[in-house]
Amino acid sequence: MGVVAVSAARDPSASAQLSVLQVGRVFPAPRGRGTIEALQPIDLAVERNDFITILGPSGCGKSTLLRIIAGLDTPTTGRVLLEGRPITGPGPDRGMVFQSYTLFPWLTVRENICFGLREKGMALPEQQERAAFFIDRVGLNGFEQHYPKQLSGGMQQRTALARALANDPQILLLDEPFGALDNQTRVLMQELLLGIWEADRKTVLFVTHDIDESIFMANRVIVFTARPGRIKTELAIDLPHPRHYTVKTTPRFAEYKGELTEAIRGEVLQTMARERQPPADSGG
């Protein structure tokens, strides 16, 4: 009860599109006794049209936070409000792209993108029209009839992005979506995503452990500590839009990078020190 009262008083911003209020998560430890605190109670306010990246070492609980916002996991303490309404479970108002490839293998690219639209009961011609628009948006023209297994990893994630966008969610949750891609593809995907965001400024929450990635696309970078995760620091990225990939070679970018590298280095070292000790959970 106390937590709710405190968090209500602490509500960072009443105008926020998404408010994370004192959200913490404790997991039972694998095989046996005790618990593992993945996430210490944290507060976070996400404004409309924000592009926030959450940067942290692996296993710091940043994915746990994203899963809680998506409604796929339940917080041990606190709550999450979207447009002022508490989140009780997953829903189409929060689109998600996962690190693993989660396209339905029995559906073609177009059918995958139409999945949520069909679930909404949208008429087929309208579904097709919307799908065509987003297929074009992510540059998959000509691959509408392909099955996921016929696509490269980058193309699969582009389809997953189009699938999430087609649903027109209020907020886009991206859990290291480019983490499994090779470096060149990843850079191109970042540019693609940034271009999409610059076009319609849909709110994005993007989890990553890649510093360049976190700066390049974001207007705010939230740095997480090593487990138990909490917000260590926050950095506003003041780089003009539209951003070209060459921004990565500017002194300003390097400055941000230096600052974030410093902030995260200690956390990574701490994680590594802990990994030499007994087994850890998958709080990732």
Partner 1 sequence: MTPLKPIAPIRRITLGILFFVVFVAIWAAATFGGLVSKVFLADPLTMVREGISLFVEQGFIKDIGITVWRVVGGFVLAAVLAVPLGIAMGTYRPVGAFFEPFVSFARYLPASAFIPLLILWAGIGELQKLLVIFIGSFFQLVLMVAVIVGNARTDLVEAAYTLGAKDAGIVRRVLLPGAAPDIAETLRLVLGWAWTYVIVAELIGSSSGIGHMITDSQALLNTGQIIFGIIVIGVIGLVSDFCFKAANQKLFPWALLR
Q: Supply 181's token pair.
A: 């891609």
Shortest Å, Cβ 92 to partner 1: 3
Q: Residue 34 or residue 142: which is nearer to partner 1 going by CB?
A: 142
Q: Which residues contact 178 (CB under 8 A, 6 or more apart)?
A: 157, 185, 186, 189, 190, 213
Q: Smallest distance from the beta carbon of 158 to partner 1, in angstroms?
A: 15
Residue 174 or 215 with smaller CB distance to partner 1: 174
In 138-236, which ranges are continuous DSSP H helix?
153-166, 183-200, 211-217
Instruction: Kindly provide the b/e burial profile for residues 63-72, where b requires at least 16 CB atoms within 10 angstroms of the residue's own CB.
Output: bbbbbbbbbb
| Cα–Cα distance, 55 to 128 (Å, whole number) | 36
Q: Please give the Cα distance from 76 to 41 (Å, whole number).
A: 9
* CB nearer to partner 1: pick between 24 and 116: 116
CB of 112 to partner 1, least distance (A): 9
Residue 12 or 91 having the CB closest to partner 1:
91
Q: Which residues pair with 19 in a beta bridge?
A: 45, 81
Question: Residues in the site for partner 1, rule: CB under 8 A?
Answer: 70-72, 89-92, 94-96, 98, 100, 102, 104-107, 115-116, 119-120, 147, 149-150, 160, 163-164, 167, 173
Q: Are 157 and 189 in contact (CB under 8 A)?
A: yes
Rounded to a whole number of angstroms, the minimum distance from the CB of residue 203 to partner 1 is 15
Nearer of residues 171 and 263 to partner 1, judged by Cβ: 171
DSSP-derived pairing of the beta strands 77-82 and 51-55:
unpaired
**Closest CB 191 distance from partner 1, rounded Å:** 24
